Amino acid sequence: MTKTILITSGPTREYIDPVRFISNSSSGKMGKAIVEEALKKGFNIIVVKGPSEEMKSSKKCKIIDVISAKQMFDAVKINLKFADIFIGVAAVADYAPVSFSKIKIKKNKNILNLKLKKNPDIIGYVSEHKYNKTVVGFALESDNILGYAKKKLKEKKLDLIIANGIDTISSEKSNPYLIFSDGKKKKLKSAKKQYIAKEIINEIIKIKSYKTYKNSN
């Protein structure tokens, strides 16, 4: 039976007014590369995609375009039941403005105070409702990359986390650590994201196959 992967990709935008928003410089290139490699392996794909590189939808690949973290969270909740594997590649904004101004905020003060609230924890929700699903996360850090990634792996009860430095943002290349739930880690050499995506998908297939074997015995 063909397995289905639910993937989040790209950044989210948290609008302050009709023209301004909080976001990050994620290009969505890693997410797109993972989608392409997973399709080559025969998976069905559901992509929940923030504003980023275009992807083509097909019978095997459903694209759901969203803007905010809340929209991404809602789309993941709706589609999680269809997935056997979840890969959280998206660079989701941690915070969003408490209020949204329907008109453009005018420049009439030297200081503008912006009040923020926490966005939903998408991968935290997935981990709490994963049942037998394989759940994979990403961690992008400016320092203590392995330390923060291991902490996230443990707290979110992930099967695998891909840890990157900030130099990978919008880059054509990446050289991440792959850290597994059993504590093992694998350092990938600097390479194009298509190659990194292939390595990630191959490791996910191994994890899924082992879990299926373990559950059948």
Tell me which residues are annotated as active site. 24
Element (H, E) at 204: helix 193-216
- Could you give the C-alpha distances from 91 to 13, 101, 106, in angstroms and in order? 10, 24, 29
Which secondary structure element, helix H or strand E, spans residue 15, and what is its range? strand 14-15
Q: Tell me the C-alpha distance between 61 and 184, whole Å.
A: 32
Calpha distance 126→77 (Å, rounded): 8
Closest-CA residue to 156 (of 134, 175, 137, 132) = 137
User: Which SS3 state, helix, strand or coil, does residue 99 take?
Assistant: coil
